Structure 1
Amino acid sequence: MPNQKFLGAWSPHLLSLLRVIVAFLFMEHGTSKLFHYPMQMGHIPPFSLFWFAGILEVFGGALILFGLFTRPVAFILSGEMAFAYFIAHAPRGFWPLLNHGEAAVFYCFVFLYLAAAGGGPWSLDRLLRKAH
């Protein structure tokens, strides 16, 4: 069994690592919508819901990645993912695995956690707080 003291000491740093990894993965959804990278999503009409989702995913994801305004941005992204789930996935059926909404549910709750927990010690939020 892992040493609880060791794991407890690393908990804040693992929060920052979770934030960075999740934000990087989340940004790929936006870059696919807006820039067709790393995969092509087809034509997304400007100012459509899908386009606005891409904007939130790229720029909100970047803010989360760097840990800047983590709490409010994570709260907004959590709402975006809840909205995405209920608009795009839930109408296809109840179970997230079957309606392909498990990623939206996952991101929704990770961002909700980050809205409550903050960005951790490796974040620009922490750096700016120390500067004042």
Structure 2
Amino acid sequence: MDRTSALDSWRPRILSIVRIVSGLIFMAHGTQKLLGFPGGERAGSGLAFDNPGAFAGIIELFCGLLITLGLFTRPAAFLASGTMAVAYWIAHAPQNFFPVNNGGDAAILYCFLFLYFVFAGPGPWSLDASWRRGKAA
């Protein structure tokens, strides 16, 4: 087996690992906005429906959880991707043209990473894949 084949054989599992890690970090953004955990300068004061950040926090928390578990991955990733696109253009882009200067680089990365999950799926280590295996048996 050549090196490329060995690396290719890990592709589905690495997809699952990237999905889990990105989902956990995305979910942490939601817990910070909604629950104040972990604390820090970006910690929110909870659920205030007049605050657009609260709506983003809800999506970050619940879509992050679904993405982490690999449950309804494609629709959750689609919603999360769109939310990050909106967040970038509403909250970050007006501050400065360059993403590295306007703090929107994470929103852009999440947007495109989650868009990738819409097409790539959750990988083998997911509840979605587990259900598919159960239905096939």
Fold-level match, TM-score > 0.5?
yes
* Alignment match of 1:62 (pick from 56, 60, 65): 65
Structure 1 regions of 5+ residues with no counterpart?
none
**Equivalent residue runs for 1:8-47 within 5 Å:** 8-40=8-40, 41-44=43-46, 46-47=48-49
Identity of aligned residues (%): 50
Runs of 4+ in 1 over 4 A off after TM superposition: none
* Alignment match of 2:74 (pick from 53, 57, 71): 71
Give the equivalent residue in structure 2 for 1:111. 114
Contact 2:96-2:102 at 8 Å conserved across structures: yes
Residue identity in the other structure for 1:14: I
Please give the alpha-carbon distance, in whole angstroms, between the structure 1 residues aligned to 2:70 and 2:116. 14
TM-score if structure 1 supplies the norm length?
0.95
Contact 1:90-1:99 at 8 Å conserved across structures: yes
The alignment yields a C-alpha RMSD, in angstroms, of 1.3
Deviation string, structure 1 residues 92-111 (Cα, Å, up to 9, x no partner) = 11110001100000100000
Contact 2:36-2:46 at 8 Å conserved across structures: no
Q: CA deviation at 1:80?
A: 0.2
TM-score if structure 2 supplies the norm length?
0.91
Structure 2 regions of 5+ residues with no counterpart?
none
Q: CA deviation at 1:45?
A: 5.1
Contact 1:72-1:115 at 8 Å conserved across structures: yes
Please give the alpha-carbon distance, in whole angstroms, between the structure 2 residues aligned to 1:59 and 1:45. 14
